[in-house]
Structure 1
């Protein structure tokens, strides 16, 4: 079913509160999220989990100033129903995938905890700057009640930036999924920040912003009829100044294609390509993100 163009879906909006030394991002996913989830028949509880991870990917990835830079979220776990979750974001294009044990999931209650789903694990958040070739990665335990809580822990531990993260997911009766999220941060040195910002306890302006941001509801985050800039105004209309950036569209962006697959295979020595090939000379490469298989002839 096609969404009316007036609905506020598949976009991320940046904003700043200069007088409070804060910046934020609001994201909402709709059709692009449905396209990503449709590649695999995920049980509802796992569809919600991946939707939450994709919203986080949009919030964090949109912080990149390098348009060709990439943000990757990867959860690796042991002892839970989910043993791998990967989401990446590049220039507004997103993809995501999770792998799970159906038998272990079937033994769990209808609404399992984050620990039950992941067991012992960690969340790795990686920023790749294409322009400079720099890479920064932070790793935090998968603790708390949600991936949003783990992301807050990441900013507190790795970046030392006071942050608030809220994510909501709504699964409609017709099978569609809507998800939205808010990230807001305190940057005492301004929007650009520094390489390291040390958390202090004497920032009353942050406590004020945090209190306002905490009033946001799951319904507001997922309501496609509520424009993101209207939501910013609803939260912070009493502030002296609120600056919003241009909306950035979000889309499903799996980068697999026959040309890409051939390019990857060309990097392998001829003897390794021969070992990969089936008797008829075909190498089949599967993309877990979009559940497609690409047959490539060895002599192509």
Structure 2
């Protein structure tokens, strides 16, 4: 049995495992994406550097989206001036996602020639937006992070530092495993957050206050978040030791990885969330969208065969309509 097949049988892929380490006052999640991310990336046929970056974005989105406590949508979107000028990953709670990337072919060719293929180099300068949409009756929440050549991990840290004010560490990994005669994409990630009961443990000092009364604790800001709490520094350091192969190994279950990291402290593992790839497009949605266009715009979209066609950029499904159907609202098959 191939490694990926065995992983599917064992139920190790396409799931998110929530966990908590009470001794360190941290909580988090581990994600392993197998067939779901391979389906998305294989469908689009992106160059390997682009697939890797979109895989990272998908793993990050699933990590964050599975934290939603309601039926809604979490979206990660980037807009920038690099070889990948846009990415969109939609997570539809509680368990499915889709993803797409746009490519600037000239800039990608230049990046490959110069070996400038890190995530930050491929994205360039722009912004990353994370949007929580609870439905039509609730105001959407959006957090925005400036992209200045940093990794998606670093962008996530910035997002939580400025928008949520929660010390957070993320590790992401994307790669291929050759099974059944072809390389198959895999993605993984781990997120840990410091959630102490006492807010005093989240205090940070920008500068040293100088002389202080005897017994007064001075926060030194040794952590990148400015948090000097020993428990958080230990948890953060442990997560930073996680290597890509540990996130991608199809036979290393998430629970085993958590044991490796936190066996001295004791990690409490909760019921996993199974996730899968799925698109939100439908004939009805596309028809409604077309009816929102101006008549002259719809006319310009009519092909030589007299049909009005639309291809979903997420799943590549092709929808074809008789122009009369769009105009008068009468249902017609295609």
TM-score normalised according to structure 2 size: 0.79
The 3 A distance-change label for structure 1 pair 152 and 41 is same
2:183 paired residue among 160, 175, 184:
175
Q: Which residue of 2 aligns with 1:184?
A: 192
Q: Relative to 1, partners in 2 of residues 1:206 and 1:262: Cα closer, same or farther, differing over 3 Å?
A: same
Contact kept in structure 2, 1:24 and 1:185, CA below 8 Å:
yes
Q: Equivalent residue for 1:33?
A: 37
Task: Tell me the CA shift for residue 198 of structure 1.
Answer: 5.9
Shifted more, 213-222 versus 52-61: the winner is 213-222
Does 1 or 2 have the higher relative contact order (CA < 8 Å, sep 6+)? 1
Say which of 94, 98, 105 aligns to 1:95. 98
Q: Match of 1:141?
A: 146
Identify the residue that residue 157 of structure 1 maps to in structure 2: 162
Name stretches of at least 5 consecutive residues in structure 1 with no aligned partner.
Answer: none
CA shift in 2, pair 1:297/1:62, >3 Å: same
SS at structure 1 position matched to 2:281? coil
2:240 to 181, 206, 214: 214
More helix by proportion, 1 or 2?
Answer: 2
Q: In structure 2, the residue corresponding to 1:112 is in which secondary structure? A: coil
Change over 3 Å in CA distance of 1:39–1:160 after alignment to 2:
same
Aligned to 1:123: 128
Change (3 A) 1:137 1:9: same
Q: Find the counterpart in structure 2 of residue 254 from structure 1.
A: 279
Distance in 2, matches of 1:56 and 1:274, equals 37
2:232 counterpart of 1:229: no
CA distance in 1, matches of 2:189, 2:295: 48
SS state at 1:246 partner: coil
Deviations 1:206-259 (A, max 9, x none): 1121122222221111111111122212211111x5322211111111111223
Cα distance in 2 for residues equivalent to 1:74 and 1:198: 29
Instruction: State the distance in 2 between where 1:286 and 1:210 align.
Output: 44
Distance, in Å, in 2 between the alignment partners of 1:117 and 1:270 is 36
CA contact (8 A) 1:45 1:111 kept: no
CA RMSD in angstroms, aligned pairs only: 2.5
Relative distance call for 1:238 and 1:272 in structure 2 (3 A) is: farther
Partner of 1:42: 46
Aligned length: 291
Q: Give the gaps of 5 or more residues in structure 2.
A: 205-226, 326-330
Shift in Å, 1:114: 3.4
Q: Is the 8 A contact 2:187 2:248 kept in 1?
A: yes
- Greater fraction strand: 1
State the TM-score, normalized to the length of structure 1. Answer: 0.88
More displaced stretch, 286-295 vs 47-56: 286-295
Name the CA distance, whole Å, in 2 between partners of 1:202 and 1:131: 41
Q: Distance in 2 between matches of 1:140 and 1:106?
A: 27
Residues in 2 aligned to 1:43 and 1:33: alpha-carbon distance in whole angstroms: 15
Q: Does the 8 A contact of 2:77 with 2:128 survive in 1?
A: yes
Structure with greater Cα Rg:
2
TM-superposed CA distance for 1:41, in Å, is: 1.6
